[in-house]
C-alpha cells in the first residue's frame, strides 16, 4: 500500500522518536546504518519531513535530526501524507487508478474495509503511541535493540 519512501520515512521517524532527546540529535548515518536504508535516499526523505516541520535538522558536530513537535502530537497519517499523500487511501487494490464503487474490482469490498482500518489506525496512532508499544514489549521494527554506539569497546 505504501511506497518504499514511506516505509523508510516511518522507520526513521520511529527511530528518531525513540533515540533523540533534548540533549541528543540522531545522525543520518546512524539511522541509515541501523535501519539498513540507503543514506542518500534517506537524506531526501528526511529533508522532506524537515520541510513539512515534522523534523528539525541541525548541522555541526552535535547535529542530526529531532522531532519538530512532541511525539504525542505527530500522527502516523501526517508522515504518510507528507511522503505518499493521502490519495493512496482512494486507490484501487488491483489497478493503479482511483477506487470506483460503481465499477468495483474483484477485491473491492474487502480492500475498502482494509484501507479504512489502516487509515483509522494511522490517523489515531502517534509516535508516542509507538514508543509506548515498544515499552510494553511489543517490538516495532527492531527499535528495542541498543544503539551500536552504546556498546562498550574492549580497547
Cα 36 to Cα 114: distance, rounded to the nearest angstrom:
29
Residue 66 contacts residue 25 (beta carbons within 8 Å)? yes
φ and ψ at residue 6, rounded to 5 degrees = -65, -45
Res 60: pLDDT: 85
- Counting every residue written for the chain, the total comes to 155
Query: What domains, with CATH codes, occur in the chain?
Result: 4-147 (1.10.10.10)
From the number of C-beta atoms within 10 Å of its C-beta (0-12, 13-18, 19+), residue 11 rates as: buried
- What DSSP line would sit under 31-72, residue for residue? HHHHHT--HHHHHHHHHHHHHTTSEEEE-STT-EEEESS-GG
Cα 113 to Cα 116: distance, rounded to the nearest angstrom:
5
Percent helix, strand and coil across the chain, each rounded to 5?
A: 55, 10, 40
Res 80: pLDDT: 97
Res 151: pLDDT: 38
Res 93: pLDDT: 83
CB atoms within 10 A of CB 65: 25
Q: What are the average pLDDT values for consecutive 10-residue runs of the chain, which has 155 residues? A: 94 92 93 96 98 95 93 97 94 84 89 91 92 70 42 38
Angle between helices 76-83 and 108-124 (to 10 degrees): 110
CB atoms within 10 A of CB 72: 13
Q: What is the pTM of this model?
A: 0.82
Cα 127 to Cα 71: distance, rounded to the nearest angstrom:
5
Amino acid at each position: 500500500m505504501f511506497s518504499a519512501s514511506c516505509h523508510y520515512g516511518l522507520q526513521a521517524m520511529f527511530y528518531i522518536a525513540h533515540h533523540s532527546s533534548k540533549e541528543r540529535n540522531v545522525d543520518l548515518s546512524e539511522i541509515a546504518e541501523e535501519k539498513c536504508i540507503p543514506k542518500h535516499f534517506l537524506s531526501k526523505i528526511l529533508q522532506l519531513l524537515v520541510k513539512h516541520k515534522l523534523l528539525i535538522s541541525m548541522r555541526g558536530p552535535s547535529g542530526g535530526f529531532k522531532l519538530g513537535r512532541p511525539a504525542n502530537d505527530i500522527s502516523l497519517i501526517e508522515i504518510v501524507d507528507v511522503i505518499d499523500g493521502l490519495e493512496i487511501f482512494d486507490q484501487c487494490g488491483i489497478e493503479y487508478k482511483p477506487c470506483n464503487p460503481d465499477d468495483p474490482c474483484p477485491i473491492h469490498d474487502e480492500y475498502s474495509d482494509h484501507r479504512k482500518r489502516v487509515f483509522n489506525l494511522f490517523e489515531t496512532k502517534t509516535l508516542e503511541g509507538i514508543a509506548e508499544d515498544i515499552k510494553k514489549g511489543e517490538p516495532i521494527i527492531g527499535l528495542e535493540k541498543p544503539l551500536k554506539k552504546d556498546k562498550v569497546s574492549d580497547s
